[in-house]
Chains A and B, each alone.
Chain A
Amino acid sequence: DIQMTQSPSSLSASVGDRVTITCQASQDIGKLLNWFQQKPGKAPKLLIYDASNLETGVPSRFSGSGSGTDFTFTISGLQPEDIATYYCQQYDNLLQFTFGPGTKVEI
């Protein structure tokens, strides 16, 4: 099974800051890595798919990069509405999905 780790588990930043979250896979997953945002009491929302593609309608301050085992998610200019928990998620061709443990972003 592929394991996903995320760091940090939580962070506190100020409005306007650049925030970076990393995600590491236990084996090479190519670019099969997505990023989700989950606000309290809400369903997860897809932000980035296939490591670096911005989902339609998602603000451009969100971005992703990486391939293989190491991935990065960035918020360029943190906004108050970005307070949430962020999850990376990988999938394989057997339709097995794994979520990272999440990173809680606070202001």
Chain B
Amino acid sequence: EVQLVQSGAEVKWPGESLRISCKGSGYTFSQYWIGWVRQMPGKGLEWMGIIYPSDSGTRYNPSFKGQVTISADKSINTAYLQWTNLKASDTALYYCARLRGRLDSWGQGTLVTVSS
């Protein structure tokens, strides 16, 4: 069974750094792109970017490029989403999803709260 398991909820101060994770199992992790999606409170889905774990090739939504970093460690079947300077506006639920022609499997989501 394909599973994407994300790291737990985080509460951070503005200006802090954060890395959240998405661990895949039940399939050959390195051979499928993993994407990240943001959902701000009460809002819709926003595409952030995607990574190919085999070679760490990435594609970013221009709206998020430079704001976050997407990375992966294929040796431990894990993808990451990272911030270096969190803002209150980064408060959201973040999902990872596997691309197999379509976004067919999703993680459970990681809630990130940034508040002073």
Contacts and interface: CB of A to CB of B under 8 A. Distances in A.
Contacts of A99: 37, 44-47
B44 A102 contact: yes
A101 interface: yes
B44 A96 contact: no
Contact of A43 (B46, B50, B108): B108
Given A43-B108, A46-B104, A50-B102, A95 B45 contact: no
Given A34-B102, A95-B33, A43 B47 contact: no
Interface string A53-79: 001000000000000000000000000
Given A44-B95, A87-B45, A97 B35 contact: yes
A43 B35 CA distance: 14
Q: How large is the interface on B (under 10, 10 to 19, 20 to 34, 35 or more residues)?
A: 20 to 34
Contact of A46 (B33, B46, B61, B102): B102
A89 interface: yes
A38 B39 CA distance: 11
Interface string B77-116: 0000000000000000001010101111011110000000
Contacts of B47: 96-99
15 contacts: A43-B107, A44-B37, A44-B45, A44-B97, A46-B103, A87-B44, A94-B59, A95-B33, A95-B50, A95-B59, A96-B47, A97-B35, A97-B47, A101-B44, A102-B44
5 pairs of A and B residues whose beta carbons are closest in the complex: A43-B106, A97-B47, A49-B102, A99-B45, A95-B59
